[in-house]
């Protein structure tokens, strides 16, 4: 049975961005996707009947507890994993493998340590057969837009984690993809760097006007960046809710302390908490949390120890 999306914010309150009228490519459609790994005793059903859409130029996040199948889903859209059932399509064409029209950024920096920053950015273009002068110009233009041109001749290990991840994003953009697929790209960064990276990403996204399919388990991050958020259940991951983020663009750090923002955080927290507990094999009851072999009341652990 498919979960009915919940729109916490009525659609008529949503600010329509000019962006949507500009982008006409980058439509991602996942239809009834199921993913099963292994068989027999080692069978793991990771994803179940997931249908979702990223509209051209839209920033969409998928959020859910650890192990709920988020990376599996992104891997299908990237073309690295084949779904056991259902289909994923980009602009109407079924995804059968990786392609340059989809740029991928993972949590781990995937830059080549033996190549300079510019050569890393050029790599995809080189693979696509783009001539040397043209790919140099493209890489320098992109690095300039991202404020990284001064580092073009540095090697990745001379740079901070935040800087490397920015270059990872620039590299993913170099082949002019229709959609950027990002799997917890800031997960390895400290909180301060992460916040700055979120601002950089939202600014870059406004410049490049492409669709983004973003995976995270960070509630604030998903709200700050996204137009829409899909919340997944515990494994097997299904869509539990679909939330439209009503904040205007461009997003600013000041918005994170508005009532609209903090209300959304609370709503998402409640949704995710249920699923995180389910993922831990624990039941949420009216009296408190069970499942650790003891009963804990609403006062917490203090009164039983
Ligand atoms: N290649 C694989 N083989 C077997 N099990 C896998 C594989 N990839 C993921 N899984 C399992 O599928 C489930 C979902 O994993 P994943 O998509 O990585 O979740 P998430 O990204 O939400 O943490 C997990 O239980 C994980 O152990
Ligand atoms: Mg993951």
Ligand minimally distant from the alpha carbon of residue 46:
1
Residues 253, 160 share a domain: no
From the CA of 33, how far away is ligand 2's center (Å)? Answer: 17
Does the CB atom of residue 72 touch ligand 1 within 6 A?
A: yes
On whether residue 136 sits in a domain, the answer given is yes
State which residues form the domain around 119. Answer: 114-176
Tell me the best of 44, 74, 184, 235 to mutate to test the pocket of ligand 1, counting ligand atoms within 8 Å of each CB and taking the most: 44
Does the CB atom of residue 44 touch ligand 1 within 6 A?
A: yes
Question: Which of 132, 147, 176 is the last residue before a domain boundary?
Answer: 176
On whether residue 106 sits in a domain, the answer given is no
Residues 298, 234 share a domain: yes
Given this model, what pLDDT does residue 73 score?
97
Ligand 1 atom closest to 35 (CA): 12
From the CA of 70, how far away is ligand 2's center (Å)? Answer: 6
- Give me the phi and psi of 139, to 5 degrees please: -65, -40
Residues 120, 25 share a domain: no
Ligand 1 atom closest to 37 (CA): 4
Tell me the best of 72, 215, 231, 236 to mutate to test the pocket of ligand 1, counting ligand atoms within 8 Å of each CB and taking the most: 72
Given this model, what pLDDT does residue 209 score?
84
User: Hunting for tokens 């120890």 — which residue is that?
Assistant: 305
Compute mean pLDDT per 10 residues along the chain, 305 residues long, and list them: 39 37 83 96 95 97 94 97 98 96 88 96 92 95 90 96 92 93 94 92 88 96 98 95 96 95 96 85 51 51 45
On whether residue 1 sits in a domain, the answer given is no
From the CA of 69, how far away is ligand 1's center (Å)? Answer: 6
Q: Residue with the nearest Cα to atom 2 of ligand 1?
A: 37
From the CA of 81, how far away is ligand 2's center (Å)? Answer: 14
Query: What is the spatial distance between Cα 30 and Cα 162, in angstroms, rounded to a whole number?
Result: 31
Query: What is the spatial distance between Cα 139 and Cα 158, in angstroms, rounded to a whole number?
Result: 19
* Total domains, the chain: 2
Does the CB atom of residue 82 touch ligand 1 within 6 A?
A: no
On whether residue 4 sits in a domain, the answer given is no
From the CA of 182, how far away is ligand 1's center (Å)? Answer: 16
Residues 97, 153 share a domain: no
Residues 88, 162 share a domain: no
Question: Which of 138, 159, 176 is the last residue before a domain boundary?
Answer: 176
Residues 81, 199 share a domain: yes
Q: Residue with the nearest Cα to atom 11 of ligand 1?
A: 46
Q: Residue with the nearest Cα to atom 7 of ligand 1?
A: 37
Tokens of 125: 């273009």
From the CA of 183, how far away is ligand 2's center (Å)? Answer: 7
Residues 185, 140 share a domain: no
Question: How many of the other CB atoms lie within 10 Å of CB of 140?
Answer: 16
């Amino acid at each position: 049975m498919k979960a009915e999306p919940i729109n916490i914010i009525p659609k008529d309150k949503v600010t329509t961005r000019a962006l949507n009228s500009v982008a006409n490519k980058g439509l991602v459609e996942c239809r009834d996707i199921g993913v099963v790994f292994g068989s027999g005793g080692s069978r793991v059903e990771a994803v179940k009947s997931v249908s979702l859409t990223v509209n051209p130029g839209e920033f969409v996040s998928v959020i859910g507890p650890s192990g709920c199948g988020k990376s599996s889903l992104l891997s299908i859209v990237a073309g690295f994993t084949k779904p056991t059932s259902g289909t994923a399509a980009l602009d109407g064409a079924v995804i059968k493998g990786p392609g340059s029209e989809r740029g991928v950024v993972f949590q781990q920096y995937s830059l080549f340590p033996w190549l300079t920053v510019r050569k890393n950015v050029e790599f995809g273009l080189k693979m696509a057969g783009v001539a040397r002068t043209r790919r140099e110009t493209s890489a320098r233009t992109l690095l300039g837009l991202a404020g990284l041109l001064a580092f073009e001749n540095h090697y990745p290990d001379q740079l901070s984690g935040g800087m490397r991840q920015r270059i990872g994003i620039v590299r993913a953009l170099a082949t002019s993809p229709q959609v950027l697929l990002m799997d917890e790209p800031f997960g390895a960064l400290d909180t301060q760097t992460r916040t700055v990276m979120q601002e950089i990403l939202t600014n870059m996204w406004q410049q490049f006007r492409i669709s983004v399919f973003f995976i995270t388990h960070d509630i604030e991050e998903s709200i700050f960046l996204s137009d829409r958020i899909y919340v997944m259940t515990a494994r097997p991951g299904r869509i539990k809710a679909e939330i439209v983020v009503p904040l205007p663009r461009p997003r600013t750090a000041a918005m994170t302390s508005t009532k609209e923002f903090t209300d959304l955080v609370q709503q998402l927290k409640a949704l995710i908490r249920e699923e995180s507990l389910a993922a831990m094999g624990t039941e949420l009851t009216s009296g408190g949390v069970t499942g650790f072999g003891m009963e804990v009341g609403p006062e917490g652990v203090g009164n039983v120890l």
